[in-house]
Amino acid sequence: MIVKYDTEQLIRIIKNIFDITGISISVLDTEYNTLARCSKEIDYCSLLQDIEAERMHCNECDRKILKKCRFSKRLEKHICHAGLYDAAMPIVKCDTIVGFAIMGRVRSANSPVSLSHYPDTDAKTIKKLETLYDQLPFITENRLMALYDLLSYIIFDNAIQIVYDPLVTEIVDFIDTNFHENLSVGYLCSRFHISKNSLYKAFNDNFRCTVNEYITERRLKYAKTLLAQSDEPVYQIARNSGIDNYTYFCRLFKIKNGVTPTEYRKKYKN
């Protein structure tokens, strides 16, 4: 799997969003290297990071929220040590994390700050920090979620692309169309004239999972759609998704989603 980043487009789009919202945004690759960033040249955080101890705290906060985001594969929010509202979201394409976005440097109603704890900081710097803090924009939960949706649809779909090996693309297309059938590694190897080792390596390199894990995720994804949009009995949904053993389906569904199929249907129906 090759991830292609259009950095010029990323920079242009997040700059436009920053000009409209005043919310700082950074886009990172999977190794947390910065691809694009937009914020005020001189602001509260910039001055704060001139203080070594605070810069270490900032870096630690970023690492924690990114680690949590990588694990959960969803938007994560927190109030950092400096009293600011930050959020990190994974950039997910084809169920694979291809990067991260950090949004923040803003205040919320629940983010009071006390500048008195900064060690070895002169009164002039403290006063400047207080002034810059008061200039930071506010953000609400709804506004943050709206920005999250905007980023997902506009930035990442257009500026970040995944390029797969042609054979892997062919195999995945076949699985996505026939996941409800009795697919096996042996059958796929025979159909696409590839060895088991090569097939395992291809899926690990491209999706960070095994072939069977990919098939299972595809089946459960389809099952969730049926649970939310149809009135079919759960046992029939299990069969239609390619899992004939009803008990196994229910157990697997709860392991992967944290709720039973029936509980999921009650929560997400319509």
SS3 167: helix
102 and 215 share one domain: no
What the block records as the tokens of 9 is 């487009």
Is the CB of residue 155 less than 8 Å from the CB of residue 28? no
Please count the structural domains in the chain: 2
25 and 103 share one domain: yes
Phi, psi of 120 (to 5 degrees): 55, 35
Domain range for 88: 2-162
134 and 169 share one domain: no
Is the CB of residue 218 less than 8 Å from the CB of residue 181? no
Residues of the chain with pLDDT under 50: 116
Find where tokens 């709804």 sit: 142
92 and 175 share one domain: no
139 and 240 share one domain: no
Phi, psi of 51 (to 5 degrees): -90, 115
Spell 120-142 as b/e; 16+ CB within 10 A means b.
ebeeebeeebeebbeebeebeee
171 and 243 share one domain: yes
- The amino acid sitting at 81 is H
The residue ranges of DSSP E strands in the chain, in sequence order, are: 2-5, 24-28, 34-38, 76-79, 85-93, 96-106, 160-163
153 and 169 share one domain: no
The CATH number of whichever domain residue 86 belongs to comes to 3.30.450.20
pLDDT digits (tens, 9 = 90+) for 6-51: 888 888 888 888 888 888 888 999 889 999 988 876 677 888 777 7
pLDDT digits (tens, 9 = 90+) for 167-192: 988 999 999 999 999 999 999 999 99
Report the relative pairing of strands 76-79 and 160-163 from DSSP bridges: unpaired
Could you report how far apart the first and last alpha carbons of the chain are, in Å?
Answer: 35
Does the predicted TM-score (pTM) go above 0.85? Answer: no
